[in-house]
Structure 1
Amino acid sequence: MAGTRPIPPPLWKAAALSGMASYLDAGLIVSISVNLAIYRDSYDMGVWMAGAISAIVTGCIAVGSLVGGRLADLFGRRRVYNWDIFCFAIGALVITLAPDDSTLLVGVLVAGLAAGADLPTSLAVVSDAAPAWARGRLVAFTQVMWMLGIAVAVFLGFVLSTTGMTGARLITGQLAVAALVTWALRSRLKLPDALSEPDTETAPESIPLKRVWTRAALLPMAATFVFYVTWGLGANTFGQFGTYLLVTVSDASQSLATGINLAFIPIGVLLTFAFVRVADSPWRDRLFHVAAVVQILAFVIASLTAGALAGMLVFFVLYQLSNPFAGEANYKVWSQLTLPAETRGTTQGLTYALSRGVFAVAAFFTPALADRSPSVLLWTITACMTAAAFAGVFIIRVLVPRSASPARDTADPRVPSTWPAGPSHKEH
């Protein structure tokens, strides 16, 4: 049965190294958020510079996704895959050693662009190398890395909260070290995917941009974009402003707000591992229906209570229980299953970029909206989550069955017989 065949260790290694894009993406966003107050005091930032940093991070990730995904399809996914992680390390190092806010901004720009470029590229690389029966689990595993990126940044922020700028440098410094180690390991990674190495079959002219504007690419691209942008407006809001909303709207203390976020992270990590286990089975999409309803219910409760602390506690419980089965992990898997393989980097880069651009704009206005009317903010997010549920159902009912055709699976022929794919694997 799908989802039960063992996956060869080299593919798990590829998934882990590709998942570092998600680890570093999440780690960068959360680290900047955790350190922002320290940066403000240490660099004597103006209020506009402090407020713009988070929006700039998200905006750079959006631009990087758009450009990086296209460059990967043009010049070879492995080439971009190796060098964008190196550029991220440089940016993270500049952030860590920045003597002033101007230098910090330069580091944020470089790291954000590189993180964005690595997101669609790394997913395309592991998806290219994966056989169809393992693709869901391998792509879903990158979401585990995303959760770990959040967990490490929040944990270090909690432990180092009294160490000032030294702690801030350690939090971003671990990202630079992780990126350099990943770059070294990726450089030696052996993968049998024809699309990831530039050659005569994948020269720039072989993947013209017009291939993106076909029905085969546009429909799944539009559907996955609608799901990700509507779901992500809620997830990104609580990812960037969860502690802020608990303090300013729910009247929680700073320590209680930080503790609530930290306490629920292990639940999210464990349930994301559970999603990986079912990502190649029919349970992946069956559980989505249940989790999507629970997720909407969570936001309805938060909205009905206007952000009161008791309601927010119930919200966090229901949200953490449902989010791993009706969130970004689904988007990643559905994108790899439904988007055409030859333009996968470009098309997913577009959906990432457009979504992150929307998130950046929303992040700029969120504090003001929360101050003016928490209820309007929460009900707006509830409506977005409802729209995401409908988009997910469309993907499951219409697009995923279409992608099950053997003609759409271009990865299996590139898995060599030297990898123990299982008794039913056929060599090509």
Structure 2
Amino acid sequence: MSGIQDATRSPWKTATLAGMASYLDASALVTSGIAIGGYYAGPLQLGAGTIGSLLGLQTLAFAAGALSGGRLGDRFGRRKIFTLSLVLYAAGVLLLLVAAGPALLYAGVMATGLAIGADLPVSLALVNEEAPAGKKGTMVVFSGMLWLAGIVAVLGLTSFMGAQGILGGRILFAHLLVVAVVVLLLRLSLRESAEWTAARRAAEARPTAVSETMEFSRVRDLFRAPTVYALLATGLYYATWNLGANTLGQFGTFLWTALAKGEVAQFSQLTLLGLPTGFLAGLVFMRVVDRPARHAWFAAGTALIVIAWALPALLGPSKFTLVAVMLISGLGNSFAGESIYKVWSQELFPTLLRATAQGVTMAFTRAVAGLAALGTPVFALGHTRLFFGLLLALMLVAALIGLAWVPRLPKALPPEEPMSPTTPAPATSRRSAA
């Protein structure tokens, strides 16, 4: 695409700084679960209901942020939105850092949830749009490696810092604040997406009547073929898969201590065992994600996720099954789950709807997860076998969507080849998305 890449642009720099949205997302999710559900719970007298409402509210706030931030990113540009969202993120983390009671905790989880929700779809769109042809999937998957790095950093701190009680939680939130400020300063050197700029200029240059029929840039175009099918498939896949991942991320510590009678530091140390394998698997997926072999790797990852959740569902929760589900599903997630969802979300939607579509599917996913989180602690304690059985069923639904539906969807055309919603997509747009 002429004019999209120039000598002054560094795709890997963009992929790293924009992709740090994934680091901040994962580290905020895990930090909130450990700090609020573990370190803060005793000193601040937080009961199971309060913990569930705080973590659930953070997830619901993410949903609201993704919905609004994704659309604003398509309307006003990637750079403005991810800069403002990171300022809000830093402010929210600061509130969580100094909180001495539930009031500031509620304000903090609201602010951080809104911020990471707005940042993620816009930043991923920028990574994709600044990546060279043939490397777009690779760089989007690289953002998933940063998501894993965020988990490693938090669990590493939890395992080895030695701090207990409220001090332990404050150290974890201080880590988030430092990283957010550094990334914010470095992001100021990034330019606006050239692909978004070109697509926006092209849309504005067309008469309104023509633009409405030839350019996929309006919200209502998401709900017309072919984009509506991509919206449904990616949204349902991400939502069903994420309920399992979100449970481990937000409530892994709670389940470990409440159901398996383990300790917080022990849980973090055991979780760290599987992360090097997940990192290496992610490097493998980066090499194959832009090739036809991607589908076979995705199928293998999906099988591992299903097997992992079958263990606590069939054998019951114990230290063995909870560790197994973390390690096995973590390996499977390197080739499926959020990694492949992010790639599909770039490939299946046109430029001026890309962040909007991701915002919608992320909002739906996090809203479902947030509502589920409100009752997770109580439900997991009172109906343990049913709880894990439902999570296994959801993994099977996600597998069916990813293996049977998504491969049938057409990829979006490049911005210089706008497609009319009333005409069939040409052969070049019907390449499999998986």
Q: TM (normalized to structure 1)?
A: 0.86
One-letter amino acid of the structure 1 residue matched with residue 145 of structure 2: V
Match of 1:378 among 382, 388, 402: 388
Instruction: Indicate the residue corresponding to 1:303 in structure 2.
Output: 313
Q: Distance in 2 between matches of 1:210 and 1:350?
A: 12
Task: Find the aligned partners of 2:203 and 2:180 in 1 and give their Cα distance.
Answer: 27
Q: Structure 1: state its 5+ residue gaps.
A: 1-6, 413-428
Residue 187 (structure 2) aligns with: 186
In the alignment, what sits opposite 1:362?
Answer: 372
Give the 3 Å change call, closer, same or farther, for CA 95–388 of structure 1 in structure 2. same
Tell me the equivalent position of 1:34: 34
Note if contact 1:76-1:198 (Cα within 8 Å) is conserved in structure 2.
no
In the alignment, what sits opposite 1:165? 166
Shift in Å, 1:251? 4.1
2:10 match: 10
Which residue of 2 is the match for residue 230 of structure 1? 240
| 1:133 positional shift | 0.8
Measure how far apart 1:80 and its partner are: 0.9
Q: How far is the alpha carbon of 1:392 from its aligned partner?
A: 0.7
Q: What per-residue deviation string (whole Å, max 9, x for no partner) do you get for residues 348-405 of structure 1?
A: 1000001000001111222222222322111111111111111111355312xx21xx
- 1:96 alignment partner AA: L
Question: How far does residue 121 in structure 1 lie from its aligned partner after superposition?
Answer: 0.6
Q: Deviations over 1:103-125 (max 9, x none)?
A: 23222211210110001111111
Given that 1:32 and 1:54 are in contact with CA atoms closer than 8 Å, whether structure 2 keeps it comes out as yes
Q: 1:209 to 1:143 in 2, by over 3 A?
A: same
Between 1:318-327 and 1:37-46, the stretch displaced more is: 37-46
CA contact (8 A) 1:64 1:113 kept: yes
Separation in structure 2 between the aligned mates of residue 381 and residue 349 of structure 1, nearest angstrom: 24
Which residue of the partner structure matches residue 141 of structure 1? 142
Deviation digits for residues 31-50 of structure 1, max 9, x if unmatched?
A: 11111133334444466433
Equivalent residue, structure 2, for 1:20: 20
Deviation of 1:244 (Å):
2.5
Equivalent residues of 1:89, 1:179 under 8 A apart? yes
Asked if 2 retains the 8 angstrom alpha-carbon contact of 1:302 and 1:311, the reply is: yes
How far residue 140 of structure 1 moved from its aligned partner, in angstroms, is 0.7
- Measured after TM superposition, the shift of residue 310 of structure 1 is 3.4
In the alignment, which of 251, 261, 264 is matched to residue 274 of structure 2?
Answer: 264
Q: Secondary structure at the match of 2:163?
A: coil
**Take 1:101 and 1:366, find their aligned partners in 2: how far apart are those partners?**
19
Aligned residue type for 1:11 = P
Equivalence for 1:60: 61
1:330 is the counterpart of 2:340: yes
Residue identity matched to 1:410: P
- Please identify, of 259-268 and 68-77, the stretch whose mean Cα deviation from structure 2 is larger: 259-268
- Structure 2 residue 403 is matched with structure 1 residue 393: yes
2:124/2:140 contact within 8 Å kept: yes
C-alpha spacing 1:194/1:291, structure 2 compared with 1 (3 Å):
closer
- Residue by residue over 1:5-50, the C-alpha shift from the partner in whole angstroms, topping out at 9 and shown as x without a partner, is xx99811111111111111111111111111133334444466433
* Pairing 1:275–2:275 present: no
1:130 pairs with 2:140: no
Partner of 1:71: 72
Kept in 1: contact 2:54–2:106 (CA 8 A): yes
Alpha-carbon distance in structure 1 between the residues aligned to 2:181 and 2:77: 21
- For 1:310, the aligned partner's letter is F
Q: What amino acid does structure 2 have at the position aligned with 1:176?
A: L
Whether the 8 Å CA contact 2:54–2:105 is kept in 1: the answer is no
For the residue of structure 2 that corresponds to 1:409, the secondary structure is: coil
User: What secondary structure sits across from 1:408 in the alignment?
Assistant: coil
Matched residue type, 1:343: L
Contact 2:248 2:326 in 1 (8 A): no
| Pair 1:105-2:106 in alignment | yes
Q: What SS class does the counterpart of residue 410 from structure 1 fall into?
A: coil
After superposition, the Cα gap between the structure-2 partners of 1:165 and 1:276, relative to the gap in structure 1 and judged at 3 Å, is same
| Compared CA separation, residues 287 and 378, structure 1 to 2 (3 A) | same
**Structure 2: runs of 5 or more not aligned:** 1-6, 212-216, 418-434
Matches within 5 A, 1:204-243: 207-243=217-253
Structure 2: how far apart are the matches of 1:22 and 1:232? 15
- In structure 2, the residue matched to 1:349 is 359
For 2:421, the equivalent position in structure 1 comes to none
Distance, in Å, in 1 between the alignment partners of 2:40 and 2:263 is 21
* Cα 1:185–1:327 shift into 2, 3 Å: same
Match of 2:88? 87
Tell whether the 8 Å contact from 1:15 to 1:126 is kept in structure 2 after alignment. Answer: yes
Query: Shift in Å at residue 197 of structure 1?
Result: 8.5
Partner of 2:156: 155
Give the C-alpha shift of residue 308 in structure 1.
Answer: 3.4
TM-score by length of 2: 0.85
Other structure's SS at 1:181 match: helix
